[in-house]
Amino acid sequence: MADPVDGPPPARKPADVFTARLVSGATFPAPADLPLLVAAEHAGLNPPSSCRNGTCRTCIAQLTQGQVRYRIQWPGLSAEEKAEGYILPCVAYPVGDVVLRLGVTF
């Protein structure tokens, strides 16, 4: 068992904050440590969502510029959908500025 350590917790480096731009032209801050869906909600947007864990596809969006990373191994998208830029913003984190279309319907 480890001994308790006195003193303040280690300083946490603030996350980078990128810009997410919707194809409509609206923008919102997109922190690197926040799923794009949550960042959009913090900006007052109301994109569709349900499971919020990358399985239901309700939140599907299309990334037209930029890149995202996922904290889960395989979000519920086919290889073809990924190649076409579709993302699941409930589990997608920006790695730079992005341009996207939220609320995609097929």
Q: Are strands 98-101 and 17-22 parallel, antiparallel or unpaired?
A: parallel
Shorter beta-carbon distance to ligand FES: residue 54 or 94 = 54
What does the per-residue mask of binding to ligand FES show for 79-98, with x meaning CB under 6 A?
---------x-x--------
Q: Map residue 83 onto helix, strand or coil.
A: helix
Our measurement of the distance from residue 64's CA atom to the centroid of its chain's CA atoms, rounded to an integer in Å, reads 14
Contact flag: residue 45 with ligand FES (CB under 6 A) = no
Give Dmax over CA atoms of the chain in angstroms.
56
User: Residue with structure tokens 């959009």?
Assistant: 40
Shorter beta-carbon distance to ligand FES: residue 52 or 101 = 52
Read off the tokens for 27: 């923008």
Contact flag: residue 58 with ligand FES (CB under 6 A) = yes
Residues of the shown chain interacting with ligand FES in the complex, contacts defined by CB under 6 A? 49-52, 54-59, 88, 90
